[in-house]
């Protein structure tokens, strides 16, 4: 499955498209995927269902301009709008260690 981002990086509020044979059905169990960015760079990623909703974990990657983007975890919403499924970045996901520090 491929997540197509409309920018060179992800950020809260970002919307993208999901492509694949049955993308939403694949995601329902959690899956590995590839995020393709607008500049042609890409990052391996994993979508998983967590206690508070869906999360997208992207591996570190480098933009075509040479900017290193570290591994990040995002809270996301999956969207089925018409014929093209998509995703929306809701914000940075909290890790289990973040909850332990409270």
pLDDT of residue 78: 86
CB 55 within 8 A of CB 75: yes
Average pLDDT over the chain reads 86
pLDDT of residue 13: 96
Number of domains in the chain: 1
Q: What is the mean pLDDT of residues 10-32?
A: 81
CB 73 within 8 A of CB 92: yes
Q: Range of 14's domain?
A: 2-100
Evaluate the CA torsion angle 73, 76, 80, 82 in order and state its sign: negative
Q: Mark out the alpha helices in the chain (DSSP H runs).
A: 23-27, 96-100
The predicted-structure confidence for 35-72, as pLDDT tens digits, reads as follows 999 999 999 999 998 888 899 999 999 999 999 999 99
pTM score, whole prediction:
0.83
């Amino acid at each position: 499955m491929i997540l197509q981002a409309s920018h060179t990086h992800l950020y809260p509020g970002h919307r993208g498209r999901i492509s694949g044979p049955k993308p939403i059905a694949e995601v329902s169990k959690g899956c590995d995927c590839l995020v393709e960015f607008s500049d042609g760079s890409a990052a391996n990623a994993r979508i998983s269902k967590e206690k508070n909703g869906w999360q997208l974990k992207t591996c570190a990657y480098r933009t075509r301009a040479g900017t290193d983007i570290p591994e990040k975890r995002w809270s996301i919403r999956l969207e089925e709008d018409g014929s093209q499924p998509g995703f929306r970045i809701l914000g940075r996901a909290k890790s289990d260690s973040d909850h332990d520090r409270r």
